[in-house]
């Protein structure tokens, strides 16, 4: 395998025990001839192209005089000679605008401009472009090459036609070049470099207009998936692995409206809802229990929603289920009420947890008296209330704590608010009537100039709305 093939796939595959493709000169001449002329029109520029250019400029301004290399990544081996579906690194997608159609092994290089220099204001700004951008990827092979029929990892006969350099250049507004021409240098800044990874991550904390529009679309697709899950609940309840039906129904919507799911769907019925990341989804969906569905559609742009709703499988909450549900909703609403530019991100969590602590104490859960330093109520909600959201479901994860958890909210930020209560079935500190109840309510929030917008507010949230939603779905 050549060096550039190794860049597109993370494992070398031994095909020696498989049937071999004829390689005689006569066969090569035969298979390379008698093909119709293929039209290869240039696409219109992608809507993300000008926004990606602005992002590259903002990143380059932080690294004047340095060569930046942002790799899309390689295809990951699943087993033997099969690979997982390719998804480009989020920083690469953000800086190019190339989403689900991006090529494995592609590399974005920002070469420093010799004339670029810090501006005279003393604030690190620049007076001229700091970098020129080139996108390197493995271009389509001509039919006079044996690659297009003999290489099962990248050959057109095997995986379909691949874009040309000119097509990608027109789509993304970027100079393109063959991957074979890319040469790494010892002085390159790459995403393995903590400072570049941090800067690329922090660049995504505030979303631009294109990103906000994509997030709205991802949330709309997710809402349709939730509607379809509710309509399928009778079928799910009748099957011993009904959680798989829930998962499958939602995942179908993700594939129809987008690229795939943004993360493994959590379809947790009954006590499974008390397991935060329940992704086995192999249990029943019994009448009388709650179903916690945590799911999001990832669009072809790779932006993803992240929404959770908890619904009563039989259509109505029991009194105890409703009591827990309304406490979680109260916590979510308390957090939402304080969101505005200027507050610290961590204050959102604090507002939700104040409600969780108060309600769990009112229910008589066995905890020390209020006022102690230990947050014993975290036993029933161990996760954070919020995380940034965008290209990654947990977006901007390499950002500094002072920019993230202790950062100040700004217009354009998008994050979740997702309090929950998870009262484990074998937790002896919990009143017996409440054991085995797990509830989470999660919405996707956009910070605006004077407050915030709940982007997922159209998906029913209150207990009464959820019960009506179920009646209408059936």
Least Cα distance to 321 among 392, 406, 421 occurs for 421
Query: Among all chains, which residue has been given the structure tokens 């009646």?
Result: 471
* Lowest model confidence (mean pLDDT) among 37-41, 218-222, 391-395, 447-451: 37-41
Rounded mean pLDDT of 35-60? 95
* pLDDT beyond 50 at 5: no
Q: Please, which pLDDT band fits residue 258 given cuts at 50, 70 and 90?
A: very high
Calpha distance 305→269 (Å, rounded)? 21
pLDDT tens digits for range 267-319: 999 999 999 999 999 999 999 999 999 999 999 999 999 999 999 999 999 99
Question: Coil, strand or helix: which one is 16?
Answer: coil
Write out 454-468 in H/E/C secondary structure: ECCCCCCCCHHHHHH
* pLDDT beyond 50 at 3: no
* pLDDT beyond 70 at 20: no
Calpha distance 93→91 (Å, rounded)? 5
Rounded mean pLDDT of 112-133? 69
Calpha distance 272→327 (Å, rounded)? 20
Q: Which residue has the higher pLDDT, 163 or 367?
A: 163
Rounded mean pLDDT of 343-350? 98
The separation between CA 144 and the C-alpha centre of its own chain, rounded to angstroms, equals 40
Calpha distance 403→387 (Å, rounded)? 13
Close Cβ partners of 163 (under 8 Å, ≥ 6 residues apart)? 101, 103, 139, 140, 171
pLDDT tens digits for range 140-175: 888 878 888 888 888 888 888 889 999 999 999 999
* pLDDT beyond 70 at 6: no
Q: Which two tokens stand for residue 197?
A: 């990874």
* pLDDT beyond 50 at 120: no
Dihedral sign, CA of 368, 371, 377, 378?
A: negative
Close Cβ partners of 68 (under 8 Å, ≥ 6 residues apart)? 59, 60, 109, 110, 131, 188, 189, 190, 196
Q: Please, which pLDDT band fits residue 128 given cuts at 50, 70 and 90?
A: confident
Give me the pLDDT at residue 4, please. Answer: 42
Across the beta sheet with 452-454, what order do the strands follow?
414-417, 443-447, 452-454
pLDDT tens digits for range 163-222: 999 999 999 999 999 999 999 999 999 999 999 999 999 999 999 999 999 999 999 999
Give me the pLDDT at residue 127, please. Answer: 63
Neighbours of 59 (CB within 10 A): 22
* pLDDT beyond 70 at 430: yes
Q: Model-level pTM?
A: 0.94
* Average pLDDT score over the chain: 93
* Lowest model confidence (mean pLDDT) among 52-66, 135-149, 285-299, 449-463: 135-149
Whole-Å CA distances, 37 to 33, 40, 123, 162, 374: 11, 9, 55, 16, 73
Q: Which two tokens stand for residue 142?
A: 């001509």
Q: Which two tokens stand for residue 469?
A: 């939603």
Question: Coil, strand or helix: which one is 93?
Answer: helix
* pLDDT beyond 70 at 117: no
Least Cα distance to 267 among 233, 303, 304 occurs for 233
Close Cβ partners of 297 (under 8 Å, ≥ 6 residues apart)? 218, 221, 222, 225, 253, 254, 257, 258, 261, 262, 304, 305
Q: Please, which pLDDT band fits residue 39 given cuts at 50, 70 and 90?
A: confident
Residue 100 φ/ψ, nearest 5 degrees: -65, -20
- CA-based max dimension of the chain: 86
* pLDDT beyond 90 at 12: no
* pLDDT beyond 70 at 327: yes
Q: Please, which pLDDT band fits residue 379 given cuts at 50, 70 and 90?
A: very high
* pLDDT beyond 80 at 368: no
Query: Among all chains, which residue has been given the structure tokens 């958890």?
Result: 405
What percent of the chain lies above the pLDDT cut of 70?
Answer: 95
Whether 250 contacts 225, CB under 8 Å: yes
Domains defined for the chain, CATH in brackets: 3-202 (3.40.350), 209-473 (3.90.230.10)
Give me the pLDDT at residue 116, please. Answer: 57
Cα angle vertex 173, ends 111, 93, to 5°?
Answer: 75
């Amino acid at each position: 395998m050549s060096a550039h093939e190794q860049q597109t796939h993370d494992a070398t595959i031994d095909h020696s025990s498989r049937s071999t493709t004829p390689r005689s000169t006569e066969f090569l001449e035969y298979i390379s001839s008698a093909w119709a002329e293929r039209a290869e029109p240039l696409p219109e520029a992608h809507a993300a192209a000008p926004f990606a250019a602005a992002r590259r400029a903002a990143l380059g301004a932080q690294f004047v005089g340095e060569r930046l290399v942002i790799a899309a990544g390689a295809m990951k081996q699943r087993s033997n000679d099969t690979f997982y579906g390719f998804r480009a690194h989020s920083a690469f997608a953000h800086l190019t605008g190339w989403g689900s159609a991006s090529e494995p092994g592609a590399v974005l290089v920002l070469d420093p401009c010799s004339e670029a220099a810090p501006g005279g204001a003393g604030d690190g700004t620049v007076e001229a472009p700091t970098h020129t951008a080139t996108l390197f990827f493995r271009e389509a092979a001509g039919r006079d090459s044996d690659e297009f029929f003999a290489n099962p990892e990248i050959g057109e006969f095997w995986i379909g036609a691949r874009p040309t350099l000119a097509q990608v250049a027109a789509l993304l507004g970027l100079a393109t070049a063959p991957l074979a021409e890319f040469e790494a240098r010892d002085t390159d800044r790459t995403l393995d470099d903590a400072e570049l990874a941090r800067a690329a991550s922090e660049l995504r904390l505030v979303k631009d207009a294109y990103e906000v529009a994509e997030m709205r679309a991802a949330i709309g697709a997710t809402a349709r998936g939730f509607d379809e899950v509710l309509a399928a609940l009778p079928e799910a309840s009748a099957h011993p692995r009904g959680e798989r039906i829930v998962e499958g129904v939602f995942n179908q919507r993700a594939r129809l409206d987008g690229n795939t799911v943004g993360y493994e769907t959590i379809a947790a019925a009954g006590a499974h809802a008390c397991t935060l990341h329940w992704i086995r989804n192999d249990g029943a969906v019994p009448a009388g229990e709650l179903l916690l569905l945590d799911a999001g559609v990832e669009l072809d742009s790779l932006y993803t929603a992240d929404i959770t709703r908890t619904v009563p499988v039989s259509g109505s909450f029991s009194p105890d289920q409703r009591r827990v549900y309304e406490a979680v909703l109260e916590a979510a609403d308390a957090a939402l009420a304080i969101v505005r530019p200027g507050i610290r991100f961590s204050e959102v969590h604090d507002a939700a947890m104040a409600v969780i602590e108060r309600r769990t104490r009112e229910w008589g859960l066995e905890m020390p008296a209020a006022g102690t330093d230990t947050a014993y109520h975290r036993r029933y909600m161990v996760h954070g209330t919020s995380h940034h959201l965008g290209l990654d479901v947990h977006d901007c994860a390499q950002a500094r704590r002072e920019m993230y958890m202790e950062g100040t909210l700004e217009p354009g930020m998008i994050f979740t608010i997702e309090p929950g209560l998870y009262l484990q079935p074998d937790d002896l500190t919990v009143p017996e009537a409440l054991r085995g109840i797990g509830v989470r309510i999660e919405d996707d929030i956009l910070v605006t100039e004077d407050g915030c917008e709940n982007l997922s507010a159209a998906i029913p949230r209150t207990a009464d709305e959820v019960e009506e939603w179920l009646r209408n779905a059936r």
